[in-house]
Structures are given as structure tokens and as C-alpha cells.
Amino acid sequence: MRTLLVFIFTAFFALPAAAQELQQFNAQQVPTPKDTCYQNKIVYGRWSRTKGAMLYINGILIDPSEIENLKNARRFKNEKWRGKKIKVKGDLCIHYCSPYEQCLSDGIMRFLKNVQYLKRTCKAD
């Protein structure tokens, strides 16, 4: 009985120390690099949407609020553009995800910001 109490007592006080060591180990991981942006890039691709209603063109996300600022924004509100080939110009940014973030693939998320125009095109993908 006495050995059981000693075991429980040591286990109880040893767990917080182990948790602290694990926490320190996680804090020492390599930091993720900051976002990288390339200005004035033109992207060609097919218009589609994600489950969260964000525009998705060839693996690049576009926030719908970016399109609201365009002159021809009303044309792109409805879904008749889905599957059509379009051309978009804006700043292409790459977000490097930390280990606990959800990214689409490869630990990076590509997105366009400061969209300058969005046009329908006939150019191949």
C-alpha cells in the first residue's frame, strides 16, 4: 500500500514537468516564414469556388471582397461563370502554413490580393 502511494505521489508531480518539457520542445520548432508576395501577376484558369464560397482559379484563392472593388464586379456575382476560362491580375501571395494550420496542399496557400481586373478569356489553361 505504501509503495502504491509513493508511486502515485511521484507520478502526480512528474507529469507537470514532462508537460513543460514537451511545451518547451514545441516552442523550439523552426518558425514558419512570412508571406511572400509577387506584384502584378496575371493568372489564367477556370473559374470555380471552394466550399467556403471563395473563388478558386488553378489552385489560387481569391477573396470575394477583392472582386467587389472592381468596376465589372456585378458580372461575376452569379454562378454562370463557373467553369469558364478567365484572366485575373493582382498580387500573387504565398502563405507558408505552420504545422497546425489547415492548408490545401503542400503546406502553402496561394492567394491573390489587390486584384486589378478580372476578364473572361479564350486562352488555354
- The pLDDT value recorded for residue 2 is 63
**HSE value, Cβ hemisphere, 13 Å, CA-based, for 34:** 1
Give per-residue pLDDT as tens, 70-90: 887 777 766 777 888 999 999
pLDDT (0 to 100) of residue 21 = 58
H or E segment and range at residue 104? none
pLDDT digits (tens, 9 = 90+) for 39-51: 999 999 998 888 8
User: Pick the residue with more confidence: 124 or 46?
Assistant: 46
pLDDT (tens digit per residue) in 18-29? 555 555 555 555
pTM of the model: 0.64
Q: Are strands 60-62 and 55-57 parallel, antiparallel or unpaired?
A: antiparallel
The confidence score (pLDDT) of residue 120 equals 85
Which residue would you say has higher pLDDT here, 82 or 13? 82
Question: Taking Cα atoms as reference points, which of 99, 117, 122, 110 lies closest to residue 42?
Answer: 117
What percent of the chain is predicted at pLDDT more than 70? 67
